[in-house]
Amino acid sequence: MSAERVEVRPRKVRRVAIPIAVVLVLTFAVVGLLLRNTPTGVIFSVSDQLAMVALGLLLGSGVMLLTRPRLRADADGVEVRNIIGTQRFSWPLVQAVSFPDGASWARLELPEDEYVPIMAIQAADGERAIKAMRELRELRREVDAAS
């Protein structure tokens, strides 16, 4: 089994986050449209309606950030993109790839007891996470054998 390149994205979080984001945007859009007709006597303007739609878009975008994690690994190193930020590590810097018991996602072990979470490999993905860890570790063994 030769793994020249490994690319992983979480699956279950995408299945949950995308519908939630759509529901948020639609809900806030409907509320924004219906905002003018209130029996309370409060007067809402068009800017209030637009603000409700914008708020729905912001919340939906925030939920969609959960779908951003990705791992790319090749013979040169590992690129980890989590919710915010992307980092690239060369293989000599990576001491291990681990998935601690009870952890939600895998991590790269670095020197001086530091680590970087790999949110792309999530425990919630079950067999996909196991397969991704096997492929990543196999790639690491191939890189170590070649050097």
N- to C-terminal Cα separation, the chain: 18
Contact 90, 79 (CB under 8 A): no
For 5, half-sphere exposure in the C-beta direction (CA atoms, 13 angstrom radius) is 3
Helix (H), strand (E) counts: the chain: 3, 7
pLDDT in tens, 100-119: 999 999 999 999 999 999 99
Position 38 scores a pLDDT of 67
Position 1 scores a pLDDT of 43
Q: What is the mean pLDDT of residues 16-25?
A: 97
pLDDT in tens, 45-68: 889 899 999 999 999 999 999 999
- The residues with which 72 forms a beta bridge, in sequence order, are 7, 79
pTM of the predicted model as reported, rounded to 2 decimal places: 0.81
Position 146 scores a pLDDT of 86
pLDDT over 50 at 33, yes or no: yes
Tokens representing residue 129 in the block: 């996470």
